[in-house]
Amino acid sequence: MNPLLLIERLTRGIGRAAAWLMLAAAVLSAGNALMRKVFAISSNAMLEAQWYLVGTAVMLAAAWVLQENGHVRIELISSRFPRGLRRGIEIFGHLCLLLPFSSLMLWLSWPYFMRSWSQNETSINTGGLLVWPMRGIIVLGFLLLCLQSLVALLRLLRGGDAPSPSDDDARPIE
């Protein structure tokens, strides 16, 4: 199988699964609020779980957002640029901004994850959760973002067009 397609399938699958974590975070948040207001019960673990769910969704869905062209652009300006200039800006963005940043974050976060995992690090809060799984999510999120950025860059370098606002309007809703 083509490695680029494999990366894109992986990105899409993980991104779609991660999006469901936002629903879980909302349900957990509502449950926490209900328990606090009705029964005067609070749990640090449940509060941290909310943060972990949202953080995991953001980290693991970032590459999917890139793949789906859902990241923020200044469309008012870029839509007026010719396709070639938009393509050049996209190549510059991947090559000089996104890839170096996500690679650096991957490189910097790996030792923190390894140390946290080896120490079985837990939260400093009473009753808190393990910390190392979230540090691993950070590593995985930046790895996925690096891979998806490479795929996008390779497509652009092979002559693919840069995304445009009209492309978003023409894309079928899944």
The pLDDT tens digits for 104-160 are 999 999 999 999 999 999 999 988 899 999 999 999 999 999 999 999 999 999 987
Whether the predicted model's global pTM rises above the 0.85 cut: yes
Task: Write down the pLDDT at residue 171.
Answer: 45
Task: Write down the pLDDT at residue 70.
Answer: 86
pLDDT at 168 over 80: no
Task: Write down the pLDDT at residue 165.
Answer: 52
Task: Write down the pLDDT at residue 164.
Answer: 57
The pLDDT tens digits for 52-83 are 999 999 999 999 999 998 887 777 787 888 98
Angle between helices 3-39 and 132-157 (to 10 degrees): 140
Average predicted confidence (pLDDT) for the chain: 90
Cα 166 to its chain centre, rounded Å, is 24
Q: How far apart are CA 80 and CA 68, in angstroms?
A: 21
Window from 45-49, 59-63, 94-98, 160-164 with minimum mean pLDDT:
160-164
Task: Write down the pLDDT at residue 16.
Answer: 96
- Report which DSSP code applies to 158: T
pLDDT mean over 8-28: 96
Residue 8 three-state SS: helix
- With residue 134 as reference, give the H or E element that holds it: helix 132-157
- Report which DSSP code applies to 127: T
Q: Can you spell out the DSSP letters for 47-116? A: HHHHHHHHHHHHHHHHHHHHHTT-S---HHHHTTS-HHHHHHHHHHIIIIIIHHHHHHHHHHHHHHHHHH
- Token readout for 94 is 């991947």
